[in-house]
Amino acid sequence: MWLIIPRQTLDNLLMQRLLFSFLFIFLNASAFALDDPWMQIEKASQAARQLSYKGIFAYQNQQEMRSIEITHLNNGKEEFARIINLDGPPRELLSSGDNVVVFNPNKENVRIQKRQGQNLFPAILPSNIEFVKSSYSLRSGDQERISGREAQIVFLDPRDEYRYPYKLWLDKESGLLLKMMVLDHNQKIIEQVSFNQISLFASQDLNWFTPSIDAHKKYVMDEVPANIVSKDKYCTISNLPAGFREVSHVTRMMGRQPILVHQWIFSDGLSSVSLFINPIPKGQKSKVGELQIGSAHIFARVMDGSQIMVVGEVPPATIQKISNSVQSVSAH
């Protein structure tokens, strides 16, 4: 027996099948995209910048612990953030776009300092994750609740001994970084940041965007020596640790009897190291040795009458290798 189907109905059926096929392919592609663990890192990087949120988190390293309140708003055009230290001196940071101002109130006055923009928690993941990919491998872990929200654990394992492992807790719903740990190679915690409470909001109201300082106190502009982009090579640098590349090279005046210091910043996308070099003035002692303060390692040595100082939140091996990457210093 033949079933007679009108041509129009047949066409509709074909069209429906075609639509379902497209939808199936699209969903599969989306699922594939979400399956790529690196997409989670990219999502976390965007979430910290694009979402509006308010919360309190704890920062902890081997020496101290502090509670910090953050309010972040993105109105579609610009980012606004207010970060308040809840423990210790009531320091506040207000940023709008790349403009960053720090307010340090004390008994007598309020010191105001203009700073350059930086990636601060929870926006510590770079927008471009390609450099991170070459230095770290990524693997997914279990799921855990952080600050009342479901989070996916993601590990960034270093491909060599020149960087620390990272453990990240990413909000399953929004992708926002809720908690992070920097560990040493024995899995001992070097530093940790974790939200204790967090909430997302949709309001575009900016009433909160003002420092809570005593308006009757004197304001003191805290002079920060200007960084000048250096055209002078000053020294030859080669054989840097794999994955580290030069981010900037500036000169600035430093010290009580100010002298010109060259500063290079090298980064692998997550961690960064500063290399300082300056000629040692006559009659001034040079600095040598190594030291750890909080999560930072510092190494100082002398070469051809120049002071070499390396500072960074990286393993001592990286600091040593960057210090040794200075091959020769030009005569000054």
Partner 1 sequence: MKEKISTLLDDELDLKATSQAVSEVIKDKRLRERFETYQLIRDSMKNELSDATFSAKSIIDAIDKEPIQIRFNHSSKVASAMALPYLSWMSWPVAASFLGVFLIAALSMNHGSLKPSETFEIAEDIPVEFIQAHQMSAPTNVAYYSETDAR
220/213 Cα distance (integer angstroms): 13
If one asks whether residue 76 binds partner 1 (CB under 8 A), the answer comes out as no
If one asks whether residue 71 binds partner 1 (CB under 8 A), the answer comes out as no
Q: Count the residues in the chain.
A: 332
Name the one range near partner 1 by CB under 8 A: 2-10, 151-159, 223-231, 317-325.
Answer: 223-231
Q: Which of 195, 201, 205 has the alpha carbon at shortest distance from 52? A: 201
If one asks whether residue 85 binds partner 1 (CB under 8 A), the answer comes out as yes
What is 32-85 written as a DSSP string? HHHHSHHHHHHHHHHHHHHS-EEEEEEEEESS-EEEEEEEEEE-SS-EEEEEEE
Interface residue with partner 1, options 43, 168, 313, 326 (CB under 8 A): 313
Enumerate residues 163-182 that contact partner 1 by CB under 8 A: 180, 182
In angstroms, what is the minimal distance from the CB of 215 to partner 1?
5
Interface residue with partner 1, options 39, 153, 220, 303 (CB under 8 A): 220
Interface residue with partner 1, options 3, 4, 76, 89 (CB under 8 A): 89
Unique residue bearing structure tokens 């350059």: 116
Enumerate residues 252-291 that contact partner 1 by CB under 8 A: 252, 254-257, 263, 265, 267, 270-274, 276, 285-291
In angstroms, what is the minimal distance from the CB of 18 to partner 1?
48
Interface residue with partner 1, options 249, 312, 322, 326 (CB under 8 A): 312
In angstroms, what is the minimal distance from the CB of 60 to partner 1?
9
Residue type, 229: V
In angstroms, what is the minimal distance from the CB of 129 to partner 1?
13
Interface residue with partner 1, options 12, 99, 143, 328 (CB under 8 A): 99
By C-beta, is 150 or 250 nearer to partner 1?
250
Contact status, residue 301 vs residue 308, Cβ threshold 8 Å = yes
Number of other CB atoms surrounding residue 253 within 10 Å: 11
- Cis, peptide link before residue 122, omega less than 30° from 0: yes
232/60 Cα distance (integer angstroms): 39
